Structures are given as C-alpha cells and as structure tokens.
Structure 1
Amino acid sequence: MHRFFVMPNQVNLTSGEIVIHDEDVKHISKVLRLKEKDIVEICDGESKEYICSIASIHKNEVVLSIEEERKSTQEASVEVVLYQGVPKGAKMDLIIQKTTELGIKEIIPVMMERTVVQFDSPKDEVKKVERWQKIAEEAAKQSKRGMIPKIHLPMSFKDAIEDSRKNALNIMPYENEENRGFKNIIKNLSKEDQASIKKIGVWIGPEGGFEESEVVKAIENGIHPVTLGPRILRTETAGFTMLSLVMYELGDLGGA
C-alpha cells in the first residue's frame, strides 16, 4: 500500500476527507497511476494513520475518503538525535536515508574542526537542508515511518553542545576509547534509569574524526565517549552502527 504524509490540518474528521496538494498529486496520478477507489495509507506525521480510498483526482489536488483511523506503531519508544559532522559529497544523503529507515528522530548537521564542507551563504544552507529534508521524507515513506525526521540547519559545535542538554544521554563513538562501549553504559544503569531514557544524542565526527579539543569539550559537558570495536568506521557507517545499537538496546530493533 502506498504511503503519503500530510499536515495534521489537512485531515478533516468532520467531513471524513483528506485533501492532498503539491508534488504528491503528480506522484499519485502520473507516476503511480492510481485511480478512484484505490486504497492508500496516509500519515499525519504525529503518529496517526488513515486508510483512505481515493474519492477524486484533479489537476491540483486529490481528495481522499477516510475509511479507517488508527495510531501509528512504527515509532520507537526512544528518540535519537544524530549530531553529524558534515561530510563531503553525497555521504550526507546516505546518512539521512539510512538513519531515517532505522528510526532517527532528528538530524543536526554540525560544523566541526575537521569539517571540509563550507556553505557559501545562509541561503545555500537553507537550500541544502530543504533537499536533505526531502530525502528524509522519501525514506520515511519507504520505511513506513510514523513521522518524518527533522533535519536542522547546520550548527556550530558549541551550539550543538548546548542543544544536547535536552537529551537524557549523549554518546560519542571515539577511536581512542578502547574499553567502554554503549552496552557497558546501559548495563551499569538501574532498570528505572534505563526506562527513564527517552531521548539520546549520538555524536559522529566528519572525515578525519573529532579533534582532541572537541572530545575534551564534549566530556566536560557530559557526553560519553564509547568504542565501536577495534576497527575504524567511516563517518557514513558509524552513525548507522551506533543507531542500530541504541535501537537494539533501548528501542524496538530486533523485537521483544
């Protein structure tokens, strides 16, 4: 069943209709070639889903009739925020796509000491983030997410540290940390403390990793360095790996 996201205000429970505009209209009519009475799945991005039949297709809108309303069960109980050192080329596209599939809640691009990529202007930043947000939306549709991860505008390392204070726990895979892994951190928490962890920040460096001064600053602000084993992972691999570990230990990856 094809899945589409809408804003909550597009859902009219009084009339029992949802009206779709913009690019999804073309996708429904021209690309997927769906017809009236075909069934689609709609998500409002706030964990509510609607099974709908297509009532009518017009040039600029598609009108859907709500057949069933239900709560989305695709989102994990733990929210994970990725603080990603901005990498070169298309690596960020891959990071956004795959972490969205795994259940990421937010992605914050961070300008770190070893970040090579530079944005020409604030307008360039906005344009890039809009593109990244679109990648997240497409990945969310494909993986049947209940919401679309938010891609933030790039932050400085200092601002990202400040933002991370909202998280219950922050972890930073670091090649010079040889003994303590994420599992070890969780094992040393009581069951009550584990249950209270609802939001985790995952910090990943760009190509070349973190500067030592950044690691010191992170530790001073309560961020825990952890090992991912004896092998050095690329920046585009480390985030997937860390997110998988978090979701396995505290989320819903692997089932009950």
Structure 2
Amino acid sequence: MPKFFTTNIEGDRIVIDSEDVAHIKRVLRLDCGSRITVCDGKGVDYAAQIVEMGEGKIVCRVLERHAAQTEPELKVTLFQALPKAAKMEYIIQKTTELGISKIVPCVLRRCVVRLDGKKAEEKKTARWQKIAQEAAKQSGRGIVPEVAEPVSFAQALEMMQEADICFAPYECEEQTTLKQTLAAAEQPKTVSFMIGPEGGFDPEEAAQLKGCGVTTVTLGRRILRTETAGEAVLAMVMYELGDINASWESGITE
C-alpha cells in the first residue's frame, strides 16, 4: 500500500497538500475510495481512505491507527564529516533506508566542502531533509530522520558523548575492532558514531576523539570511502544491536 508523510492530521481527518498530491493523482492514479498509508513522521501509521480530491489537496479518512512496525528500538546518530554534495545526499538516502535516527553533518579540518554562511546552511539542510523524507517514504520508515544543521568538530564531540556508545572508525587504529566494541555494549539504547572526511581524520582530531572517550575502531584491512563507511558501519550496528536480523512477524532476533 502506498505510504505518505504528513503532519496535517486532526482526529480522523488527514489532509495531504504537498507535491505528493500530483504523485497520487498522475503516477499512482488513485481516486476516491482508494486506500493509502499515511505516517505522521513520529512513529504512527494511519490506514486511510481517500474521500476528497481537490486541485491542491487530498483529504483522507482515518480507518485505523497503530505504531509503525518498521522502526528500530535502537536510536543511532551518524556524525558525518561534510563530503561533496552528491556524496552527502547518497549517505543520507542509504542510512535512512538502514534505520538511522539522526544525521549530523560536521566540519573537520580535512573537509573539502565549506558552507558559506547561515543562509547556505539552512538551504542545504532543507534539501537534505527532503532527501531523508523521500528515502523514509520509499523504505517504509515510521519516522523521518532528522538532518541537523552542520556543527563544528568540538560541538560534534560534545553531542556524541550523550549516547550509550560512541565510536569512530579510524584507519590508523590497529587493535580495537568494531565487533569488539559492539560486543562489549550492555543493551545500549543509543549509539553515535563519526565518519571522517575524504582525507581521513587529522591526527590531532583522532587524539581529541580518544581524549573525549570516543572509541576509535578499525573496520579491517581495507579503507572505505567516506560515502561507503557510514552505511557499512550502520548495517553492522543494526545487525549486532538492532533489528536487521529480526523476523518480520515476531520481531524476534535470531
């Protein structure tokens, strides 16, 4: 059943007035009486029936409401060093599909991208948020992950430490593996991790990570690109601690 996001929900009445209207009419060719799934973006799904189709809006009647079944209990935040534009969009799309809760772009020394001014940051963040919403819709998510405005490395370090586990893959780490770090965790509810830029972490930044209690981990003998690392790490985290290895019907981890 097609799924759409909207916050315009009052009682048993739902109004869709975004660009989804054209998609529902012209692409899906739905009409009054058709059923769709609507999500409020906060973890509640609504089974709804279209009752009115206007020029710029579609009105639906709520048939049933229930908690979204696709959201992991584990809340994971990705702190992503700013890469080039297309790479960031790819990272947002793929990590949203895999179950990320929040993405925080951050500016590190070796980042080649710099956003000039508050206005540029707000414009870029709005675009990133839209990409997250589209990916959430496509993958059946119950929430739209938040994409925060870019923060400094110092701000990112402070934010990371709020999680039950925080770590950063680092190509110069030779001892501690990601698997060891995750295995040592005792039923964490929140996880945060940082992915460095194309040129990797500056040695001083790596030292600061360790000094603030962020565990640096190795991902093995091969070095991953910044646009590959985030989704690879998230998949590992979700497999070990989340719901990737859970059956659909029961939610029981094998």
TM-score normalised by structure 2 residue count: 0.94
Does the 8 Å contact 2:160/2:193 carry over to 1?
no
Query: Which string of whole-angstrom CA distances, capped at 9 and with x for unpartnered residues, describes residues 140-197 of structure 1?
Result: 00000010000000101011111112211111001111221122123334xxxx22x1
Query: Following the alignment from structure 2 to structure 1, what is the Cα–Cα distance between the partners of residues 50 and 183?
Result: 50
Q: Which amino acid in structure 2 is aligned with residue 23 of structure 1?
A: E
Query: Following the alignment from structure 1 to structure 2, what is the Cα–Cα distance between the partners of residues 242 and 129?
Result: 23
Matched residue, 1:222 = 213
Matched residue, 2:194 = 203
Q: Which amino acid in structure 2 is aligned with residue 19 of structure 1?
A: V
What aligned pairs does 1:108-187 form with structure 2 within 5 A after superposition? 108-187=104-183
2:244 to 225, 234, 253: 253
Alpha carbon RMSD of aligned pairs, Å? 1.1
1:46 to 33, 36, 42: 42
Query: Which string of whole-angstrom CA distances, capped at 9 and with x for unpartnered residues, describes residues 76-114 of structure 1?
Result: 111110000000140001000000000000000000000
Query: Following the alignment from structure 2 to structure 1, what is the Cα–Cα distance between the partners of residues 85 and 123?
Result: 15
2:87 to 86, 91, 101: 91
TM-score normalised by structure 1 residue count: 0.93
The answer for unaligned runs of 5 or more in structure 1 is none
Query: Following the alignment from structure 2 to structure 1, what is the Cα–Cα distance between the partners of residues 244 and 169?
Result: 20
Query: Which string of whole-angstrom CA distances, capped at 9 and with x for unpartnered residues, describes residues 15-39 of structure 1?
Result: x211111222222223332111111
1:81 to 65, 77, 81: 77
Query: Following the alignment from structure 2 to structure 1, what is the Cα–Cα distance between the partners of residues 161 and 245?
Result: 29
**2:64 partner SS:** strand
Query: Following the alignment from structure 2 to structure 1, what is the Cα–Cα distance between the partners of residues 197 and 30?
Result: 42
Query: Which string of whole-angstrom CA distances, capped at 9 and with x for unpartnered residues, describes residues 205-244 of structure 1?
Result: 0101100111111111110001111000000010011101
Q: Does 1:242 align with 2:233?
A: yes
Matched residue, 2:6 = 6
Q: Which amino acid in structure 2 is aligned with residue 130 of structure 1?
A: A
**1:90 partner SS:** helix
Does the 8 Å contact 2:168/2:217 carry over to 1?
yes
Query: Following the alignment from structure 1 to structure 2, what is the Cα–Cα distance between the partners of residues 186 and 238?
Result: 16
Query: Following the alignment from structure 1 to structure 2, what is the Cα–Cα distance between the partners of residues 132 and 95?
Result: 10
Q: Which amino acid in structure 2 is aligned with residue 49 of structure 1?
A: D
Q: Which amino acid in structure 1 is aligned with residue 224 of structure 2?
A: L
Matched residue, 1:69 = 65
Query: Following the alignment from structure 2 to structure 1, what is the Cα–Cα distance between the partners of residues 222 and 164?
Result: 28
**1:34 partner SS:** coil
Q: Percent identity?
A: 44
Write out the 4+ residue segments of structure 1 that deviate beyond 6 Å after TM superposition. none
